Amino acid sequence: MSFSQLRNNIASIAEAFATDRATRQLRRHLEQADFDHLREAGLPLIGLPVDEGGLWQSVAESTRPICELLRTLAHGDASVALVCAMHPAVLSYWLTAPAELSERPLWQQQCREIFSSVRDGHWWGTITSEPGSGGDITQSRTNALHATGETAYFISGQKHFGSGLGIMSLMVTTATPEGADSPEWFFVDLRDVPWDGSQGVTLIAEWDGHGMIATQSHSLAFDRFPATRMAWSHSLLPVAANAGGFIGCLFTSVVVGIVDQAMATARAHLATRELGSYERTEWTRVQLEYWLIEQALEGMLRAIETNDDARHEILTGKTAIAELSETALTRLCRIIGGSTLGRRSPFGFWLNDVRALGFLRPPWPLAFKTLEATHD
């Protein structure tokens, strides 16, 4: 499997998804069959190293082709694309770890188990966010009690925004081990686990978002549920530093894919009628914003390809694209008219979908706090 082959596979799937857009945009759930098709197409391989049979080489080499895949997939189904983005995002915690860790037996064993799960076709996701944390991973109030074995724990706490719950087999999360001063990375195996509290997992609330409505980003409570600590102690912030820019590019590419499709659809629609002065002016503005969005994404990708630490550039681009995408989609809705308020039109769904980028890690307040601190 090569990236070229995978691109062709994903393009075909996205095209098929797009033919059923009207139904998909109304869905409030994910379909297992979609992820089975994507697995057969080879998409999970983007989170597996080349020497393990996958496509991952490095952040510098792999970010652009992975982002292209997610951008294309978003042309067909934005919710599915966003959930799929979580898979390489969290696996990058291990993929971008320092090389010296590879000499440690415990790390070697954990990587073998994780990579084996990917080869077996399992999807990885994340349920890290907690109510009241503001998206700050250092503010976790989930606790972890040590069990038998060096990395075996039981976690207790409440989490939300678990995108892909019910589809993802394993989910990365955070918790603070007993006696520790700060949280650590963990992952939980949710295969065949009921959410009724009988095995330590309780569904608190189903996802009912205004955007990305079918991502199944539910809220769960864990009560002494088995979890595995990442075999790299005190790695919370180093992992975020190593993988943060890559993850920012993934999420942003999904939103740019939505804007691509909105622009193409609007262009075809507007070609059938004569535009008034206001419509012509707004359409010109939209095209300028779309150009800026594409330039910002390209700047993000070039930064991550050329800089050892591109987090500032990635956050700057992501934040700019979040604002530009929302403005551009709002203009498109105004140009096309009142029909976009109806649920038969795709534009209202796309508008709410692109708004999600500003709420993804880091959300608006934390993003601007970080940007302000960086500029200072």
- Read off the CATH number of the domain in which 308 is found: 1.20.140.10
One pLDDT digit (tens) per residue for the chain, 376 residues: 899 999 999 999 999 999 999 999 999 999 999 999 999 999 999 999 999 999 999 999 999 999 999 999 999 999 999 999 999 999 999 999 999 999 999 999 999 999 999 999 999 999 999 999 988 999 999 999 999 999 999 999 999 999 999 999 999 999 999 999 999 999 999 999 999 999 999 999 999 999 999 999 999 999 999 999 999 999 999 999 999 999 999 999 999 999 999 999 999 999 999 999 999 999 999 999 999 999 999 999 999 999 989 999 999 999 999 999 999 999 999 999 999 999 999 999 999 999 999 988 788 898 998 898 876 5
Residues 70 and 167 reside in one and the same domain: no
Structural domains of the chain, count: 3
Query: How far is Cα of residue 298 from the mean position of the Cα atoms in its chain?
Result: 18
Per the domain annotation, does 76 fall within a domain?
Answer: yes
- For 84-141, what is each residue's pLDDT tens digit? 999 999 999 999 999 999 999 999 999 999 999 999 999 999 999 999 998 899 999 9
Structural domain contains residue 342: yes
179 and 195 together in one domain: yes
Q: How many residues does the chain have?
A: 376
Res 204: pLDDT: 98
Domain's final residue, options 204, 229, 254: 229
Burial class (CB in 10 A: 0-12, 13-18, 19+), 365: exposed
Q: Kindly state whether residues 250 and 355 are assigned to the same domain.
A: yes
3-state DSSP assignment of residue 103: helix
- For residue 76, the Cα-to-chain-centroid distance in whole angstroms is 16
The rounded distance, in Å, linking the Cα atoms of 376 and 366 is 15
Integer Cα distance of 1 and 188 in angstroms: 29
How far separated are the first and last CA of the chain, in Å rounded? 46
How far is the C-alpha of 165 from the C-alpha of 220, rounded, in Å?
10
pLDDT of residue 61: 98
Domain residue limits at 17? 3-100
Please check whether residues 185 and 258 belong to one and the same domain: no
User: Does the bond joining 131 to the residue before it have cis omega, within 30 degrees of 0?
Assistant: no
In a domain, 117, yes or no: no
Helices (H), the chain: 3-19, 21-24, 32-41, 59-74, 78-95, 105-119, 236-270, 277-306, 311-336, 347-355, 364-375
∠49-54-57 over CA atoms, to 5°?
A: 40
Q: Residue 338, class by beta-carbon neighbours within 10 Å (0-12 exposed, 13-18 middle, 19+ buried)? A: exposed
Domain contains 111: no
Query: Does residue 119 sit within a domain?
Result: no
Q: How many other C-beta atoms are found inside a 10 Å radius of the C-beta of residue 364?
A: 14
CB neighbour list of residue 369: distance below 8 Å, 6 or more residues apart = none
Q: Which two tokens stand for residue 35?
A: 């992820």
Same domain, 69 and 152: no
Say yes or no: 173 and 93 in one domain: no
Judge whether 110 lies within some domain. no
Tell which of 187, 206, 229 closes a domain.
229
Domain harbouring 91, CATH code:
1.10.540.10
Please say whether the beta carbons of 128 and 160 come within 8 A: no
SS3 94: helix
The pLDDT assigned to 8 comes to: 98
Q: Within 10 Å of residue 133's Cβ, how many Cβ atoms?
A: 18
Confirm if 301 and 249 have CB atoms less than 8 A apart. Answer: yes
Domain shared by 248 and 209, yes or no: no
Same domain, 224 and 240: no
Three-class SS state of 364: helix
301 occurs within a structural domain:
yes
- Say whether both 195 and 259 belong to one domain: no
Q: Which CATH number is 177's domain given?
A: 2.40.110.10
State the pLDDT at residue 373.
Answer: 87
Let me know whether 132 and 219 are in one domain.
Answer: yes
Domain boundary among 209, 229, 249: 229
> Is residue 317 a contact partner of residue 297, using CB atoms and an 8 Å limit?
yes
Judge whether 285 lies within some domain. Answer: yes
Q: What pLDDT was estimated at residue 231?
A: 98
| 314 lies in the same domain as 368 | yes
Same domain, 142 and 212: yes
Determine the Cα–Cα distance for residues 86 and 108; give it in Å rounded to an integer. 23
β pairing state of 201-205 and 218-229: antiparallel
Amino acid at 193: V
Tell me, what's the pLDDT at 376? 57
- pLDDT, residue 375, reads 67
Q: Which residue(s) pair with 219 in the sheet? A: 205
234: left (phi over 0), alpha (psi -120 to 50) or beta: left
